[in-house]
Amino acid sequence: MESAVNEHCFLQPHWRIIARGFKTEEWFNEGKAVGTGGILMPKPLSLRKDQFYYRFASSNSSHEAQLGGGWWLDFENFNKIDQFAKKNVYNIRDAARLMLALPYDWTRVDTLVRALLVKPLKAYAGEGKPAQGAKVGYDNDTAWVPTQHIKISQLYIPGLFIKGTKPQEQLYETVFSHITVKSLL
């Protein structure tokens, strides 16, 4: 069996800290465990090649942020959100925001990325934690709690984008094919 191209990330503890929703810059620079959202108990998981993976993103984000962001879903969990939206007459944007606990100040949730995994990759997987919205603005200090009656397993894929790495050498450029970016507006 081929080893995951991001296997080295699972030897570096800061990736698991990010998966748990902590801000590593503040953690390392100030010694504070500041964070919100993330995965409750992230467990390493080998992702299946030749499967599609999904990501909700913002249209005002850069290409690298849309494709290189670490937060993804497998088909089964994306489908749970889609079916919930249809059954309850929500648009998929609102269903994703509700089920994944995505504050307004984090993302517009107006873009859906779908990508076929073509190389072995690992992720941290698990149920999402509550997230805290911004104290001012549209969120107005709202606590966002993932739906409790329908559990969604989120994926955090470390190493897809590394600041300072050349664009053509970014991991997201080499592990995915058949990428579609669709507006949800």
Phi, psi of 26, deg, nearest 5:
-70, -35
Q: How deeply is 120 buried, as exposed, middle or buried, from its count of CB atoms within 10 A (0-12, 13-18, 19+)?
A: middle
Task: Show the domain range for 119.
Answer: 7-183
- What average pLDDT does the structure give for the chain? 92
Share of the chain above pLDDT 70, in %: 93
Give CA angle at 19 (13, 23), nearest 5°: 80
- Whether 2 maps to a domain, the answer reads no
Tens of pLDDT along 8-47?
A: 999 999 899 999 998 765 545 444 445 678 999 999 999 9
- State mean pLDDT over 123-146: 91
- Whether 178 maps to a domain, the answer reads yes
Domains held by the chain: number: 1
Q: Give one DSSP letter per residue of 30-44, joined into a string.
A: H----B-SSBSS-EE
Give the Cα separation of 106 and 98 in Å (integer). 13
Buried b (16+ CB within 10 A) or exposed e, 137-160: eebeeeebebbeeeebbbbbbbbb
- Whether 1 maps to a domain, the answer reads no
- How many CB atoms are located within 10 Å of the residue 13 CB? 9
Give the Cα separation of 68 and 89 in Å (integer). 31
| pLDDT at residue 66 is higher than 60 | yes
Give the Cα separation of 83 and 144 in Å (integer). 21
* Of 17, 2, 152, 18, the residue nearest 74 (C-alpha): 152
| pLDDT at residue 151 is higher than 90 | yes
Q: Which residue has the higher pLDDT, 135 or 174?
A: 174
Tens of pLDDT along 83-133?
A: 999 999 999 999 999 999 999 999 999 999 999 999 999 999 999 999 988
